[in-house]
Amino acid sequence: MIISGVHSIRMQKNPCCVKLSVQPSRGLVDEKFSILVQNTPPGFQVTVHALHHSEDGHDWEAFAHYTANNTGTVNVSEDPSLGGTYSGVEQMGLLWSLRPVPGNKPWLRMRKMNVQTPMEVTISVYQGHQTEGFTDQAPLAGVVVERWYMAPGVRRVPITEEGLTATLFLPSGPGPFPALIDLWGGGGQLVESRASLLASHGIAALALDYLTPKITVETGKMVENEYFEKAYKVLEQHPQVLGSRIAMLGISFGAVMTFKFAVYSEVIKLSCAVSVSGSHVQPIDGSVKQIFDYLIKNAGNTRINEENQTIWRDLLLPIPTDPAFKVDVGRLKCPLMLVVGEDDQNFPAPESAKDIKEMMERAGNSHLLTVLSYPNAGHLIEPPYTPHVRATNFVTVGSRQKVVALWGGEMVAHSRAQEDAWRKLLVFLRENLYGTNLGATSLSHLQRKGISWDPMPNGLVRDGLHLFYRTEVNS
């Protein structure tokens, strides 16, 4: 029987009735949960196991070994894992250490493409310290946990006007809301996960496909810069959007485009900009195609390691001195956040951040800059508890070449970076989009246990804002 995240099973050969509770059993993907195992004999050894069947048909698992205390209890939030896919006290380790079950295809990446359904994770308890064969055993107890990108009341609105391939996510409440254009990287597709999660935190977010949109599929031609400006105008003119408070967030190649429009566009006027694992290096007058051509021209700098993994970070190195090939961030007039993984093997994000900082210091606008720099974090810095993958299968846009791309990062450090960066990114966006006159809080507000699963009135205006570190932050 499953009630409110509690599931009990009596085993014939097991004298105890183990009780497992996961609270909350339904929440946002960036919300922490607590796992409690009770009613075992004192000193009883258990394995707590997580299993997720992904949308692309693959199984992912994580597990940890625990020993019950003298009251027959294991509290995953407080007790150390003695082994498994992670060790030590890690409240959310069963999510960020998820990995493909042995026998699956190699080099997989977990991505949620349908945000209108939850990510379901089965949490189970097994007797003893197990490392394999979980599907061949009966658990002592189990519960299914739902992890959502869309909070109750968030609205998903497909956008096709002006030839766009995009989805707008509107927060719960009447609005109007500050907004953001969300640009993913060089793999293309309409990726809605981050935009829907941002809307769950009170920011209207437009997920924009700019590499593989319908117009490109039909014509075979990459979009021009006007495509992005059309997206901005659609967002600006939406009745539930505060047109004077719009940001842009890009990861990887999406960050390249973010730099361009933040500085040079006469149409796009941003309240702030965020670059995750990006670079300002590009032909400054270039279109999407011309920037790709610039990268291809430097393809000779590609490296292949001993595991046949492709390393692309050198395509933009060394950082050019010619001003025609890097965005003049000294002209930037809005706050800018850089999120940098120091073990990024795909983009020269650390070198770019150093150059950006120096350029802005010379220009006198470094007060607008926030840099979050994380040792041993890789390229794919995503929302909290997303499983870390050091290398994955990747199909390049245009040539459709299939490679194994090396992203970098060490699992624990990368997972810490994702959690820390997301928390500070939300504060940065709220500070610059809502403004500090809407209430007082601090960074500690975002460190509390999760967020309310109840619908949030008028886009989290109650949360207000405060702070920011305009320095490098090490994890």
| Catalytic annotation, residues | 252, 344, 379
Q: How far apart are CA 436 and CA 461, in angstroms?
A: 10
H or E element, residue 235: helix 225-236
Closest CA to 315 of 343, 289, 291, 339: 291
Q: How far apart are CA 360 and CA 337, in angstroms?
A: 13
Neighbours of 141 (CB within 10 A): 24
Q: How far apart are CA 204 and CA 242, in angstroms?
A: 9
> Residue 13 has what DSSP assignment?
T
| Both tokens assigned to 365 | 């606008």
Strands 26-28 and 141-148: parallel
For 304-339, the DSSP string reads: E-TT--EE-GGGG-SPP--GGGB--GGG--S-EEEE
Q: How far apart are CA 360 and CA 372, in angstroms?
A: 16
Whether 295 contacts 254, CB under 8 Å: no
Closest CA to 149 of 463, 453, 457, 465: 453
Closest CA to 54 of 108, 13, 131: 108
Q: How far apart are CA 109 and CA 107, in angstroms?
A: 7
> Residue 249 has what DSSP assignment?
E
Neighbours of 162 (CB within 10 A): 14
Q: Which amino acid type is present at position 54?
A: S
Closest CA to 45 of 140, 138, 135: 140
Closest CA to 230 of 221, 218, 238: 238
Indicate the SS3 state at residue 244.
strand
